[in-house]
Amino acid sequence: MNTYPSRQQGLTFIELSLTLVILGVIAALLAALLPAIKRLASSEAAVYEVSTADEAITGFAFATGRLPCADTDGNGYENCPAVLGGYPYLTLGQDRPLRNIDDYDYRYAVYVRPSGSTMNDVTLNRLQDRWQPTLASGLPPATALTALGNTGHLDLCRALAVGQGNTVNTDELHIEYAGAREHIAYLLVDPGSADLDGNGSAFDGLNASGQGFEHPTRATSSNYDDRVAVVYFNQLWTRMGCAGLLSTAGHAHPNTVSMLAMLRQSLRDYKKQLEITKEMTEADILQQVATIASAAAGLASASAAIPLATASALNTFGVTSGGIALAATAVALNVAAVTASGFILDQAIDADNQVGDQLTALDTLIDELETLHNSVYTNMKAGDRDALSDR
């Protein structure tokens, strides 16, 4: 049996003080780390959200041959021809808005630069027949820039190429850094967690309004916490496979059509030459027939002259006997003329038959080439229309 009273254990004042100090340090560390942890989580979420949105925009471009317009009324659908506003998530086939971790909506903007020349128009959120290849067409063929009557993916590629070379205009979509400006195809802006610059908008700096936006490399600071994600013209050009498309549907197909058009005209010109040749061979035949007829008439006349010359020689006791020799010579010459003309006539008839056969074969070849030309032309237009949808 324990006869000693129980002894209660507890923290001494010093131990309690040390515990409170440690808890205070931990709380301070947590307070310092929480914003960083939150920023890290926000950054990771932003990367995923922007990547998903970017894929949706690229898919839309593949499907339609243009970029989406902005959503200006907040219902999730694009409002064309708007170039600044919200992200049109429903138009892009997504089921929820594009918002950051603090539940702020992203801002979306797309590049446009209208032009009086359709080929040089860079309104990326509108379909236009911009790609107009140099094409030889018609009879006789004439070479000219040709609008194919389609609006599709090659036209978007054409717009991206023109936009890449455009000089910067502050009235059009651009990003700025240290006074330098650059055009871009489109962008998405995450407004961050607060209005750090006190401009009355969740978007800080240039991101709050207008066509100018902060450069993606601008660092977070005490008055800026936005994130800007941009897609440049050459990036979208690569994604769309524009280089390969333009070398095939944009150049090879029109060049083939032009070659066939010129070959078709060449065959028609050759046919005209053959028709002239046939006319000449027919004329030769008529000429030789006339020559034979003339020689035959001369032969008959010379043959008739022999009896007369013979009678004359008898009556003159041989004084006019030379007429018999002349008549005989005339007969011989006319016989030779008939023979030669007959030989030439055979050659002319043979040449005429050969030219006729060539004309028949050429007509068949021209018909086949016409069919081939029309087929390639149809395929070229289909390639212009469906260049990317088949990829």
349-379 pLDDT per residue, tens: 776 788 778 888 888 888 888 888 888 888 8
Collapsing DSSP to helix, strand or coil, 31 comes out as helix
- The confidence score (pLDDT) of residue 324 equals 46
Does a structural domain hold residue 215?
yes
Does a structural domain hold residue 140?
no
Dist. CA 264–CA 368, nearest whole Å: 10
- The confidence score (pLDDT) of residue 202 equals 92
346: amino acid identity, one letter: D
- The confidence score (pLDDT) of residue 237 equals 94
Same domain? 325 vs 358 = yes
Residue 56, Ramachandran bin (φ over 0: left; ψ between -120 and 50: alpha; else beta): alpha
Please name which of 354, 360, 366 lies closest in space to residue 282, comparing C-alpha atoms: 354
Does a structural domain hold residue 158?
no
Same domain? 302 vs 188 = no
- DSSP-assigned states of every residue in 311-374: HHHHHTTTTTTHHHHHHHHHHHHHHHHHHHHHHHHHHHHHHHHHHHHHHHHHHHHHHHHHHHHH
Dist. CA 152–CA 253, nearest whole Å: 16
Domain boundary among 215, 240, 265: 240
- The confidence score (pLDDT) of residue 313 equals 45
Same domain? 219 vs 71 = yes
Dist. CA 136–CA 380, nearest whole Å: 13
**Helices (H), ranges, the chain:** 13-64, 153-165, 233-239, 242-245, 253-315, 322-386
Give, in order, the Cα–Cα distances in Å from 348 to each of 279, 282, 297, 353.
Answer: 11, 8, 22, 9
How many domains is the chain built from? 2
Angle at 260 between CA 259 and CA 263, to 5 degrees: 90
Same domain? 218 vs 300 = no
Q: Which residue has the tokens 């790609």?
A: 131
Same domain? 199 vs 54 = yes
**Helices (H), ranges, 65-180:** 153-165
Answer whether 224's CB lies under 8 Å from 205's CB: yes
Same domain? 235 vs 331 = no
pLDDT beneath 70: ranges in the chain: 1-11, 13, 15-16, 30-46, 284-346, 348, 351, 387-391
Structural domain that includes position 102:
34-113+166-240
- Strands in 227-231's sheet, in edge-to-edge order, are 84-85, 107-110, 186-190, 227-231
Dist. CA 227–CA 192, nearest whole Å: 7
Collapsing DSSP to helix, strand or coil, 135 comes out as strand
- The confidence score (pLDDT) of residue 308 equals 45
The number of C-alpha atoms within 13 Å of 84 and in the hemisphere containing its C-beta is 11
Dist. CA 285–CA 352, nearest whole Å: 9
| Strand partners of residue 86 | 71
- The confidence score (pLDDT) of residue 79 equals 97
Q: What is the pLDDT of residues 189-241, one digit of tens each?
A: 999 888 999 999 999 999 999 999 999 999 989 999 999 999 999 999 999 98
- The confidence score (pLDDT) of residue 161 equals 93
Same domain? 172 vs 68 = yes
Peptide bond into 81 cis (omega under 30): yes
Same domain? 173 vs 319 = no
Collapsing DSSP to helix, strand or coil, 107 comes out as strand
Same domain? 72 vs 170 = yes
378: CATH: 1.10.287
- The confidence score (pLDDT) of residue 318 equals 45
Question: Which residues lie closer than 8 Å to 128 by C-beta, 6 or more apart?
Answer: 118, 121, 151, 155, 159
Q: Which residue has the tokens 């407004």?
A: 191
Does a structural domain hold residue 303?
yes
Dist. CA 116–CA 72, nearest whole Å: 27
